[in-house]
Structure 1
Amino acid sequence: MNLVLLSTLLATAVGAEPSVQIKDGLIQGFTSNKVEHFFGIPYADPPVGDLRLRQPRPLSKPLGTFDATSSPRLCTQKIMASDLPIIDTWPESISGSLRAYNSTSNNQGEDCLTVNIQRPIETKSDSKLPVIFWIFGGAFEQGSTNSSDWSTLVTKSIEQGGVIIVAVNYRLNTFGFLGGEELQAEGATNLGLRDQRLGLEWVHDNIAAFGGDADKVTIWGQSAGSISTYYHLLINNGDNRSNRTGKPLFRAAIMDSGTSFDAEPVNGTTAQAQYDHIVSAVGCASSYSTLDCLRAAPWQKIYDATNTLPHLVSQDGFSIDYVPRPDLSSPFFTSAKLTPSQNVVDVPVIVAHQEDEATIFLQPTSSVNTTAKLINMVHKQFPSTPTSIFETLISYYTNNTSYGAPFRTNATQDVMYPHSKINSAVVSDIAFIFQARSFLDTIAGPQPSVNWSSPVYALQGSYFYGTPIVGSFHGSDLALLAGGTTGMRMGMRMEEGETLRKEGTIDGIG
């Protein structure tokens, strides 16, 4: 939700401003198009100064009367795409979806741990509406609660009784997912996940005042938010109970393009090298305590250092630098993959992915134009997997241009460079589809390896398979679900005559 959208919403606001009394203060919002909006409500103390690179701390001071009508600050963003000359040949309506990853904002910083709440007009404190807890995506490097507007979905939900949507901001990149032994020693790992968990605790304690039912919370995420949602099934050895009440923080989960993401431990070689790089780039390498030095450094220095790391998308490949990493020194997050020895939160789940997930990332990587370069690229992303495994895996793919992602094209359409379609197909499978199917097989396959009693649903999104170059790419479904993200609504189309089906509600979801 950008400033133009916000100003439009404010301009169309009608009637008395809604307000909600919670234990920390009076929250004042605004109404627009049959939806009441409350933006930027703090759920934690600002993680600034000595609280930088520490676990989030619940609010320690009352809010008083809080104006929740302004677009909230974004958590610090990382520029995610380097110069990509090949996209200059694309239609602007499509290239804009990728250029959105390079968008910057002056309204970003560390004091960003807030939630946005959108609910149907005239919701009362005793309405007890179901709640969606939305976790945005962006490769754990970029994104915010401002990325999507849920007004349409909230309005549509009124026909079936209404729903409240809470979107959570959490720390990203260096500020939220930096690893290394120094952070591990202080219990300050996977901070972005810890932010989300504290946000869930805040919703559990406060959503009733907004007319929500704390016993009917569904967590839903896309991309990095989907991976986060999956991890919330595993966190604390599968214990999703509130610290205060002992009751579950959520009753269902929706994973939209992401489950497990293979990552070395938080004190492993990759994480430590990343920590050391940031320390050096900030100018803290000679400090007695490099972590204290990072906490005292100007924000701009850390921001600049963060952007010296490889970009998510470049001509040379696809690289995710910041991810949640297992930390065996704490019970909070010990494994990125569900195993038979683990406990898991057994709730109804939807596991979804798009037909052409990786095209938006791999179609521009014009330097990765041979099988050897493709193998090298995926091995760099997943270094714990032997190269021989990728060599065998990729040998099963054909570079026949009639195949590959996007899948529903003819032999000549959408071939951006040699290997573009096989690159997109391979990374779609490795990063998204294999992981989803592995999770589904673990909980609901012919021989599930964990005990799971709740309903399981799976789907593949292919609504936009007619979109040139990228097909039903990663994130394209947000155009249907939440008004899209910056640059995403343009250029996507369904094949002529195709319609969207209106699905019924799923018992236990929502």
Structure 2
Amino acid sequence: MQIIALISYLAVAAAAADARVYDQKNLKGSHEDVHGYKCGNVGSSKFKVNSIHLRSKTFCYLYQKKDCKGSRIYVSRDVNDLHLNTVNSIPKKLTAMNLKILLLGSLSLIPTAHAAVALPTLDLPWGSYKAKPLLWDDKIYLFENVRFGAKPIRFGPSDFPNKRDPKTPFVTTDCLQIDPSVLKNKAGGKYPLGYPSQDLEPDMSHPFKAANWTGTEDCLFLDVYVPKRVFDDPGAQLLPVTVWFYGGAYAFGTKRMKVLKVLNGPLYNGKSLIEASNYSTIVVAGNYRLGAFGWLAGSHMEANGLPNAGLYDQNLLLQWVQKYIDRVHGDNKTVSAWGESAGGGSILHHLIRNNGEENPLFTRFLTQSPAFEWAWDNSPGGQLDQVYQTFSESLGCYAPYNIECIRDPSFSLEKLALANVNLFRDVNQTGLFPVGPAVDNTWIKTIPTLAFAQKKFWPGIKSALVSHCANDAQSFTPNVTTKEAFYGFLTNFLPGENLAHLRTGIAEQYDCDKNYDGNYKKCLHDIIRDASFTCNTRDLIDAYPQQAYAMNYGFPNDSYAFHATDLIPLFGNVKFRGEIAAMFEKGFDYPKDEAKELAAALNSTVIKTFLEYLSSFALYGNTNGTGNTGWPVVNRSGPLFSNVMKPNSSGWSLSNDDQNSKATCDFWRKIANDIMYPKGQIGDVDVDMDVQEEL
């Protein structure tokens, strides 16, 4: 029988240390455990069963069976599907709350449960958090939903909790966010890989349905994945730490993605990386505020709130790692920050905080497709203020746009969420996102490429791995087919008469008619790629040239290496049969048979080597481990980066990268300079004279 969904891990007795939880419509007949072992038939006389019998079919029917490599806990939604004779019932009158608590870790009500295993506890000043063996690998402990920040002031700073919080949440800990179904042009294709509730098909008949959002304001929680062996050996060496920042266009995402209705799904599970490292690294994944709640900026926010609050949440998480990671045998002197898309773009902004004068609290970083759109106009009434005012008016708060109005504690979560959804209503037409990291004169003082050009970045990075996908921009490019629509995009991107000459310069530089045969969508694709993705990779590599490794991810080929496809080899669990194929099918809208073929090819040519390289980087800060696997630091001597690793369906090879050329990125740096110095001033920018003359 097909496994319908995996709903939660139950920490049980020693004999059930690798217990799994299934949700099955019918437990009659044969079924499989997660590793593919046949468990035989569930018959009325074959097993002794302990049951919780609930009258309502909306609740679960829980029983325990001893078979097939130890105990398994199965859950059925329909009690009528179970025909079992030998049942020892326990109290029938259980509330829904009791059941939730039971399903999240307690089997103490079951009479035949074995003596509990002593699991390690993470003790913090504000609470204690007990580990549980990871669902797919009992060599890894998971400390789940660890609070690292008190409920933040809306549009204000976050901080460590200042009082005891004994509760471990068993409901959502995701930050308030849009459902990506709101977006037409979104990361990863029809179903952006990794967004929460990916299995849902929200009702889009009305733009403000409640199905278009999820989450809560009290969301500063993290998960810690730790090899079990460090608790078995008190003298074990402290392990290097990898901190993961999720992507999602600064609008959606969470530390632990729900994929295919699987709560304990692959994104962003630490299993694959830890296993590849021979159980020698620790992985931390935490939440940060999203949408309006994490990224409003402009003069209103600078005067009364906290622009770029999401960056401060991320910094608080990194502070937590510095202060408390040793309590689970982590080494706070060997911390790597990893992130994809918005997560990678966030890491870039940590490096230029306050002109690079603030320690980012990590010494290594890995960015996969670091992404953000330039946001610089923080003048009174400027673009950033217009976004703030739109959000404020959606809440019924009009001029003078007092921040205390939008902080009104009487606003329902739904009212706040739908005001946030309203900000994104035009993304599918414009291809431009309303929020993200923005110039605020405190954390971000200029367009980032200028900060890098002016050497205003943190110098203390020991190693970097900078990657992008060969077709990052495909899913972010609006369907522009005419010259008028093309210029309309440029006008939205660089609005106002003062920037008209820059729009003209971009149009002349790319020359859609000559260089793209009038294919304006392909022309715009390359503009978005260069400005929002690949020139960010050049900035990072140029900043740390002696320490940087570069990758251009091209599986299966350059045309189909869409944004976020490189998450599959990093997080996909090859031991869960069908998971890789499902990630292609549901994450990128491939037909089922084609998804299976891609999964087989990825497994045979990419995944093992990908994880070897990245786990080596997590451990040693280089891709070669203790030997030499043939991936040198990037070569910057020519117009194109060379020694760039290129995985595709044919295997692995070193190549040149033509998507972040010096000439192209110098052009965009000059555009940024002219934006920030509109009166003809020349900023301290490192661009070639021929580029300056061309503009």
For normalisation by structure 2, the TM-score amounts to 0.59
Compute the displacement of 1:71 (Å): 6.5
Equivalent position of 2:337 in the other structure: 219
CA offset digits 1:64-96 (Å, max 9, x no partner): 4x547x465110112445585x99xxxxx9633
2:486 to 355, 359, 374: 374
Compute the displacement of 1:495 (Å): 9.7
The worse-fitting range, judged by mean Cα deviation, of 117-126 and 226-235 is: 117-126
* Alpha-carbon spacing, 1:291–1:234, altered in 2? closer, same or farther (3 Å): same
Cα distance in 2 between the residues matched to 1:460 and 1:4: 35
CA offset digits 1:233-279 (Å, max 9, x no partner): 111332444xxxxxx72111111111664211444611011111111
Equivalent position of 1:431 in the other structure: 532
Contact 2:244 2:284 in 1 (8 A): yes
Compute the displacement of 1:311 (Å): 4.4
- Name the amino acid aligned to 1:275: Y
Compute the displacement of 1:222 (Å): 0.6
Cα distance in 2 between the residues matched to 1:72 and 1:24: 20
- 1:319 counterpart = 2:419: no
- 1:156 counterpart = 2:268: no
Contact 2:245 2:286 in 1 (8 A): yes
Contact 1:74 1:109 in 2 (8 A): yes
Compute the displacement of 1:391 (Å): 0.6
Contact 2:274 2:282 in 1 (8 A): no
Contact 1:180 1:271 in 2 (8 A): yes
Which structure 1 segments of 5+ residues have no match? 88-92, 242-247, 402-417, 445-453
Equivalent position of 1:195 in the other structure: 313
* Alpha-carbon spacing, 1:107–1:40, altered in 2? closer, same or farther (3 Å): farther
Compute the displacement of 1:45 (Å): 1.1
Which secondary structure does the structure 2 equivalent of 1:264 belong to?
coil
Cα distance in 2 between the residues matched to 1:12 and 1:437: 45
1:110 to 217, 224, 232: 217
2:515 to 389, 398, 404: 398
Which secondary structure does the structure 1 equivalent of 2:229 belong to?
coil
* Alpha-carbon spacing, 1:464–1:135, altered in 2? closer, same or farther (3 Å): same
Superposed, which structure 2 residues align to 1:104-503 within 5 Å?
108-124=215-231, 127-147=237-257, 148-159=267-278, 161-186=279-304, 188-241=306-359, 249-258=361-370, 261-267=373-379, 269-285=382-398, 290-296=402-408, 297-311=411-425, 314=428, 316-328=429-441, 330=442, 332-337=443-448, 338-340=452-454, 342-347=456-461, 348-362=463-477, 365-366=478-479, 368-383=480-495, 386-395=502-511, 398-399=515-516, 419-441=520-542, 443-444=544-545, 454-465=546-557, 471-483=560-572, 487-488=586-587, 491=590, 493=598, 499-500=605-606, 501-502=609-610, 503=612
Contact 2:298 2:388 in 1 (8 A): yes
2:175 to 75, 86, 91: 75
Which secondary structure does the structure 1 equivalent of 2:159 belong to?
coil
Which secondary structure does the structure 2 equivalent of 1:146 belong to?
coil
Cα distance in 2 between the residues matched to 1:9 and 1:267: 53
- Name the amino acid aligned to 2:420: T
Cα distance in 2 between the residues matched to 1:5 and 1:105: 24
Contact 1:53 1:188 in 2 (8 A): yes
Contact 1:226 1:255 in 2 (8 A): yes
Equivalent position of 1:40 in the other structure: 145
CA offset digits 1:392-417 (Å, max 9, x no partner): 2321673359xxxxxxxxxxxxxxxx
Structure possessing the higher relative contact order (Cα contacts under 8 Å, 6 or more residues apart): 1
Cα distance in 2 between the residues matched to 1:146 and 1:313: 25
Which secondary structure does the structure 2 equivalent of 1:425 belong to?
helix
- Name the amino acid aligned to 2:460: D
- Name the amino acid aligned to 1:387: R
* Alpha-carbon spacing, 1:496–1:456, altered in 2? closer, same or farther (3 Å): closer
Which secondary structure does the structure 2 equivalent of 1:214 belong to?
strand
Cα distance in 2 between the residues matched to 1:189 and 1:54: 8
Superposed, which structure 2 residues align to 1:91-110 within 5 Å?
95-97=190-192, 108-110=215-217
Contact 1:118 1:154 in 2 (8 A): no
Compute the displacement of 1:18 (Å): 3.5
* Alpha-carbon spacing, 1:271–1:106, altered in 2? closer, same or farther (3 Å): closer
Which structure 2 segments of 5+ residues have no match? 12-18, 22-70, 72-116, 201-210, 258-266, 573-579, 624-695
Contact 1:320 1:381 in 2 (8 A): no
Compute the displacement of 1:345 (Å): 3.6
Compute the displacement of 1:302 (Å): 2.2
RMSD (Å) for aligned C-alpha atoms: 3.4
- Name the amino acid aligned to 2:412: P
- Name the amino acid aligned to 2:154: R
Compute the displacement of 1:319 (Å): 1.4
Number of residue pairs the alignment of both structures matches: 455
Compute the displacement of 1:172 (Å): 0.7
Cα distance in 2 between the residues matched to 1:465 and 1:494: 14
Compute the displacement of 1:30 (Å): 1.2
Which secondary structure does the structure 2 equivalent of 1:123 belong to?
helix
Compute the displacement of 1:443 (Å): 4.7
Cα distance in 1 between the residues matched to 2:165 and 2:327: 15
2:155 to 32, 53, 56: 53
- Name the amino acid aligned to 1:150: N
Contact 1:129 1:211 in 2 (8 A): yes
Contact 2:227 2:281 in 1 (8 A): yes
- Name the amino acid aligned to 2:537: A
Cα distance in 2 between the residues matched to 1:381 and 1:430: 11
Cα distance in 2 between the residues matched to 1:106 and 1:341: 40
- Name the amino acid aligned to 1:381: F
Cα distance in 1 between the residues matched to 2:244 and 2:174: 15
Equivalent position of 2:130 in the other structure: 28
The worse-fitting range, judged by mean Cα deviation, of 122-131 and 198-207 is: 122-131
Which secondary structure does the structure 2 equivalent of 1:326 belong to?
coil
CA offset digits 1:421-453 (Å, max 9, x no partner): 444333222211123224434553xxxxxxxxx
CA offset digits 1:202-261 (Å, max 9, x no partner): 1110100011111110001111110100111111332444xxxxxx72111111111664
Cα distance in 2 between the residues matched to 1:419 and 1:270: 26
Contact 1:120 1:154 in 2 (8 A): no
- 1:12 counterpart = 2:20: yes
Cα distance in 2 between the residues matched to 1:129 and 1:489: 35
- Name the amino acid aligned to 1:352: S
Cα distance in 2 between the residues matched to 1:5 and 1:340: 51
Cα distance in 2 between the residues matched to 1:117 and 1:5: 20
Cα distance in 2 between the residues matched to 1:195 and 1:231: 13
Equivalent position of 2:678 in the other structure: none
* Alpha-carbon spacing, 1:462–1:339, altered in 2? closer, same or farther (3 Å): same
Cα distance in 2 between the residues matched to 1:105 and 1:8: 28
CA offset digits 1:320-364 (Å, max 9, x no partner): 111111112x3x3323412325242431111111000011233xx
